[in-house]
């Protein structure tokens, strides 16, 4: 008979493993999509839609999957999700028309909904003081995108891109079997089941009327949506901007992906001990400085000198670019952990609905931003326009956060003044 701590660790391990495989599946179009683009002769906007479609369905599925997890428990919902996603993943290997890829990609995208299941299931097993750490470890399953960036190019070179979906479909089935044997019904769900105290749908959705939830969603739109968008976009960006081959571009993208994924566990611990709001504020400042330099397009400036014209080439080389991306990846990893620690601080009894809603908004960032990256690149002919867009999104986050902090401080002062008046003789 497993001990309570043993069950916690087993569930956390399997949740993280299942999320890692789902995340690898969810983002595989970033790599295989480049070969599909070449086969079908897609333009930038069509390619962006192909890559973003799984992100859309994965994002939209997060809220309903979070609600289902609260109602039926993470163990059964996660198992069903793993098996379900394996079917369209397998079918993807046999698609040959653009609309085939869009339809199968839409259902493959349910892999992205695994986050709402796993974060709710994980949260149910851990005490309040360890929430950030536990969810940070689970969230490190983002490393799945790095697995895709490492494995997919090598497999594609040897066997072609259609082998990737077949491997991932098999991996999902294997993980589903392991998941069932090494997980347990979470205590919160068991308690609700024993006492027949399941919340109604109206009760589950009630916190979503709070504007704070949507503010957290905007934060996650940047730190997670921006992460997904760049993870999908950077391989192509490296190929176009610096002329490297796809395999090299995929490996260079790891400098952004791996730190953002691994550091999330440490970011959760820091959020537990320092405070999630402070963590996110520092994260935003670091990112906006990096984006300032990343946004500037490569330029040639002609200075008309006294005797001759002088040309200055202004831009960042591949080494500085990768360094800035690396720093921003670390910051985003901290930010992703901080947002969900904030959610638990305010909504510990509504993790399924609130995490689902915030995760949905963040995931939609991963859908919307690649589309905007492609559209603005087509319209402006400036490749770094993607970073300009992220700069604007982050600016909105920082403005809203600043005034929210001011409002909270004002509300607290008013509350303390009212209490003092009430207690005064």
pLDDT in tens, 252-295: 888 888 888 788 778 777 887 887 788 888 999 999 999 999 98
State the pTM of this model. Answer: 0.76
Number of domains in the chain: 1
User: What pLDDT does 370 receive?
Assistant: 80
For residue 318, is it within any domain?
yes
In tens, the pLDDT along 301-318 reads 777 777 777 776 777 889
Q: What range defines the domain where residue 82 resides?
A: 4-189+212-423
| CA 165/CA 142 separation, integer angstroms | 19
User: What pLDDT does 196 receive?
Assistant: 67
- The SS3 of residue 245 is coil
In tens, the pLDDT along 140-197 reads 887 887 788 788 888 888 888 999 999 999 999 999 999 999 988 877 767 777 666 6
Q: Considering the chain, what is the average pLDDT of its residues?
A: 84
For residue 205, is it within any domain?
no
For residue 201, is it within any domain?
no
**What average pLDDT score do residues 51-79 get?**
87
In the chain, what is the straight-line distance between the N-terminal and C-terminal CA atoms, in Å? 60
For residue 204, is it within any domain?
no
For residue 181, is it within any domain?
yes
**Has residue 97 got a pLDDT over 70?**
yes
Q: Which CATH number does the domain housing residue 226 bear? A: 1.20.1250.20
Q: Cβ(291)–Cβ(230) under 8 Å? A: no
Q: Which of 2-6, 213-217, 229-233, 254-258 has the lowest mean pLDDT?
A: 2-6
| CA 367/CA 48 separation, integer angstroms | 9
**Has residue 422 got a pLDDT over 60?**
no
**What average pLDDT score do residues 84-106 get?**
93
| CA 139/CA 154 separation, integer angstroms | 26
User: What pLDDT does 416 receive?
Assistant: 60
For residue 196, is it within any domain?
no
User: What pLDDT does 248 receive?
Assistant: 86
In tens, the pLDDT along 289-298 reads 999 999 887 7
User: What pLDDT does 361 receive?
Assistant: 86
In tens, the pLDDT along 192-209 reads 776 666 666 677 777 777
Task: List the one residue out of 223, 172, 249, 180 whose CA is nearest residue 359.
Answer: 223
Q: What percent of the chain has pLDDT over 70?
A: 91
For residue 317, is it within any domain?
yes
For residue 109, is it within any domain?
yes
């Amino acid at each position: 008979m497993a001990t309570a701590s043993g069950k916690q660790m087993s569930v956390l391990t399997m949740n993280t493993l299942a999320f890692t495989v789902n995340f690898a599946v969810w983002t595989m179009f970033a790599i295989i999509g480049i070969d599909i683009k070449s086969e079908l002769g897609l333009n930038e906007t069509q390619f962006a839609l192909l890559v973003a479609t799984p992100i859309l369905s994965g994002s939209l599925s997060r809220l309903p999957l979070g609600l289902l997890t609260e109602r039926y428990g993470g163990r059964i919902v996660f198992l069903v999700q793993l098996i379900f996603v394996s079917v369209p993943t397998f079918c993807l290997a046999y698609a040959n028309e653009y609309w085939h890829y869009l339809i199968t990609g839409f259902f493959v995208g349910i892999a992205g909904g695994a986050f709402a299941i796993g974060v709710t299931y994980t949260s149910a097993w851990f005490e309040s003081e360890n929430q950030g750490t536990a969810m940070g470890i689970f969230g490190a399953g983002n490393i799945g995108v790095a697995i895709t960036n490492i494995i997919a190019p090598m497999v594609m070179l040897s066997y072609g891109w259609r082998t990737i979906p077949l491997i991932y479909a098999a991996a999902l089935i294997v993980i589903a079997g392991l998941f069932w044997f090494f997980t347990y019904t979470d205590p919160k769900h068991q308690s609700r089941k024993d006492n027949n105290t399941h919340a109604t749908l109206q009760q589950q959705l009630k916190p979503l009327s709070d504007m704070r939830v949507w503010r957290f969603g905007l934060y996650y739109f940047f730190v997670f949506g921006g992460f997904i968008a760049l993870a999908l976009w950077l391989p192509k960006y490296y190929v176009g901007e610096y002329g490297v081959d796809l395999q090299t571009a995929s490996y260079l993208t790891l400098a952004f992906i791996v730190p953002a994924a691994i550091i999330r566990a440490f970011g959760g611990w820091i959020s537990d001990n320092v405070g999630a709001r402070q963590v996110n504020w520092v994260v935003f400042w670091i990112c906006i400085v990096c984006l300032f330099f990343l946004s500037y397009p490569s330029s040639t400036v002609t200075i008309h000198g006294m005797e001759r014209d002088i040309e200055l080439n202004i831009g960042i080389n591949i080494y500085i670019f990768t360094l800035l991306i690396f720093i921003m990846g670390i910051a985003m990893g901290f930010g992703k952990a901080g947002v969900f620690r904030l959610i638990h601080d305010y909504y510990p009894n509504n993790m399924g609905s609130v995490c689902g809603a915030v995760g949905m908004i963040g995931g939609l960032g991963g859908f919307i931003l690649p589309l905007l990256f492609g559209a603005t690149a087509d319209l402006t002919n400036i490749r770094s326009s993607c970073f300009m867009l992220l700069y604007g999104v982050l600016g909105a986050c920082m403005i809203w956060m600043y005034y929210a902090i001011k409002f909270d401080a004002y509300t607290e002062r008013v509350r303390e003044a009212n209490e003092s008046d009430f207690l005064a003789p």
